[in-house]
């Protein structure tokens, strides 16, 4: 490890976010062959408060050898810190290593933290092996009507990313006794059929289909 890299690693803990951002950039521009830099980057991902810095940390990790980064990131998926789990998922999705799929557990897909769950949905869809799409869709559709509008849109996008294999699970959810679940499933099916329609329009149409007022199904 060069003195420049060592200095940048130390700057990752600086109180100034702009200094941390530049430090992460410097580390990514000069990836170290040893695992010390990877360890520091991963550890910082778990606690970094600034989104832009976290994105730069992820970029810096993608610049390192996956043989060093992936084994260090996978254990983070079991971390008690929600940010560690979500950022590890995000980074693994950028690295694109197929070993990731085996570590995306049902617990992650159903994680109580919305950011972790959203990252797990996106990453799972990116890595799902051929033939596993229907099983993944069946798990994801259990999350219909969850959380904020952004969370629901993330779920719809993830499901649509599975292609036509998602349709049986979607159609089953469209018959759910919970009207909010039905509305979310219908909106997702509308987006699948017409990606240009927009989520807001799809939601409004779904509400009309289930014959509910806007106060009864909240998005």
Q: What is the pLDDT of residues 68-83, one digit of tens each?
A: 999 999 999 999 999 9
pLDDT at 112 over 90: yes
Domain ranges of the chain: 1-104, 128-219
| Local confidence band at 119 (pLDDT 50, 70, 90 cut-offs) | very high
| Phi-psi sector, 146: left (phi>0), alpha (psi -120 to 50), beta | beta
What is the pLDDT at residue 213? 46
> How far is residue 86's CA from residue 78's CA, in Å, rounded to a whole number?
10
Q: What is the pLDDT of residues 37-49, one digit of tens each?
A: 999 999 999 999 9
> How far is residue 60's CA from residue 54's CA, in Å, rounded to a whole number?
10
> How far is residue 90's CA from residue 102's CA, in Å, rounded to a whole number?
15
State both tokens at 34: 């040893």
> How far is residue 81's CA from residue 92's CA, in Å, rounded to a whole number?
17
> How far is residue 33's CA from residue 199's CA, in Å, rounded to a whole number?
45
> How far is residue 30's CA from residue 20's CA, in Å, rounded to a whole number?
15
CATH number of 1-104, picked from 3.90.650.10, 3.30.2010.30, 1.25.10.10, 3.30.2130.10: 1.25.10.10
């Amino acid at each position: 490890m060069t003195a420049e890299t060592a200095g940048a690693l130390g700057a990752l803990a600086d109180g100034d976010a702009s200094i941390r951002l530049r430090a992460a950039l410097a580390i990514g521009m000069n990836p170290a062959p040893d695992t010390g830099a990877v360890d520091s980057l991963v550890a910082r991902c778990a606690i970094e408060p600034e989104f832009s810095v976290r994105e730069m940390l992820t970029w810096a990790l993608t610049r390192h050898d996956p043989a060093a980064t992936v084994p260090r990131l996978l254990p983070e998926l079991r971390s008690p810190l929600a940010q560690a789990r979500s950022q590890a998922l995000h980074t693994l999705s950028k690295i694109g290593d197929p070993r990731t799929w085996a570590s995306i557990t049902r617990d992650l897909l159903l994680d109580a933290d919305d950011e972790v769950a959203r990252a797990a949905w996106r990453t799972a869809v990116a890595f799902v092996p051929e033939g596993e799409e229907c099983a993944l869709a069946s798990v994801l559709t259990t999350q219909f009507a969850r959380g904020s509008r952004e969370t629901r849109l993330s779920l719809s996008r993830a499901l649509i990313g599975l292609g036509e294999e998602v349709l049986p699970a979607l159609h089953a959810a469209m018959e759910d006794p919970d009207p909010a679940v039905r509305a979310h499933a219908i909106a997702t099916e509308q987006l699948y059929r017409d990606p240009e329609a927009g989520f807001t329009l799809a939601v409004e149409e779904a509400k009309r289909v289930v014959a509910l007022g806007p106060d009864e199904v909240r998005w």
